Amino acid sequence: MTDFSAWIHTCQTRVEEVLAERLPSARIAPQRLHEAMRYAVLGGGKRVRPLLAFAAADIANADMERVQYAAAAVELIHAYSLVHDDMPAMDDDALRRGKPTVHVEFDEATALLVGDALQSLAFDILASQPLARDAATQLSMVQLLAQAAGSRGMAGGQAIDLASVGKPLDLTELEFMHIHKTGALIRASVLLGAQCGHLTDATATALDHYAKCIGLAFQVVDDVLDAEASTATLGKTAGKDAAHNKPTYVSLLGATRARELARELRADACAALAELGAPAERLRQVADFVIERTF
């Protein structure tokens, strides 16, 4: 095991433990809702957003005992978005993280409530213990996550996505959509991890640039994988973008150019870290992980 894969394993285990502990037990009423919440969140996913939060924490000398809660909060928002996105009114998918989606395994009403309750739990966790050096910073962290998830962030990006099926978006419009739908939460993951420690304005600006580039690169790679990887490898239905005539980086640029673009975005992201030296090494490694992933 390389040092990086050991680190990934440690971070994934840590966030899994926090999530397992903070998600209500399936033995507590309402049992079925709690069971479905745990089903949606535990034991699956790459945990990319928590990895970004942990990696950014290195820059700010943040205590892992604190960062783990910021990491869990972003993962809960992400999990909620996947549950809702898979529902018939949105992407209508039956497979997620290698198992039936929540509305298939349970029912649609439960899936709606799972998403709602996961979102609330994310903010409960972010607000319920000291994470930042002072209360004002912590309040700004709550606001950062709220804005990233809201109508001018992820939910807004999803609205644009739903409205653009079958429409010929150009690259600028596609980028605008993904900056919101995928990029906003990825940016929040990086900034929240770092805000658990001490940050100068210059470092925050560098991290913001890194996060924006990685958020977009993540989506470019997602588009390539949807076109090229198998359902078994992805654990979700492959080839959906083309089947639904969705504009993607692959449909606009072709897979080869899309892969090049992802690497250019990684280079741009890492250039932003140049001044930060050795503590930025994990962020460079996570950038490689995001770009080179196969699922």
Footprint on this chain of ligand GRG (rule: CB under 6 A) = 45-46, 48, 78, 81-82, 84-85, 97, 154-155, 158, 181-182, 219, 222
Q: Residue 136 or residue 232: which is nearer to ligand GRG going by CB?
A: 232
Q: How far is the CB of 176 from ligand GRG (least distance, A)?
A: 15
Cα–Cα distances in angstroms (integers) from residue 93 to residues 139, 165, 237, 270, in the given order: 36, 16, 7, 35
The least distance separating ligand GRG from the CB of residue 288, rounded to whole angstroms, comes to 16
Alpha-carbon distance of 35 to 236, in angstroms, equals 21
- Residue closer to ligand GRG, measured from CB, 97 or 282: 97
- Cβ-closest residue to ligand GRG? 45
58 or 91, CB closer to ligand GRG?
91
In the complex, what is the shortest distance from the CB of residue 81 to ligand GRG, in angstroms, rounded to a whole number? Answer: 4
The amino acid at residue 239 is: G
C-alpha distances (whole Å) from 277 to each of 195, 206, 282 are 18, 12, 11
Instruction: For the CB of residue 132, give the shortest distance to ligand GRG in the complex, in Å.
Output: 25
CB nearer to ligand GRG: pick between 48 and 262: 48
Main-chain phi, psi angles of 175, to 5 degrees:
-65, -45
Considering only CA atoms, which of 244, 155, 250, 187 is closest in space to residue 56? 187
Can you read off the two tokens belonging to residue 258? 């899309």
Q: Considering the complex, state which of residue 244 and residue 257 has its C-beta at the smaller distance from ligand GRG.
A: 244
Least distance to ligand GRG, CB of residue 88, Å: 13
Q: Burial-class residue 236 by CB neighbours within 10 Å (0-12, 13-18, 19+).
A: buried
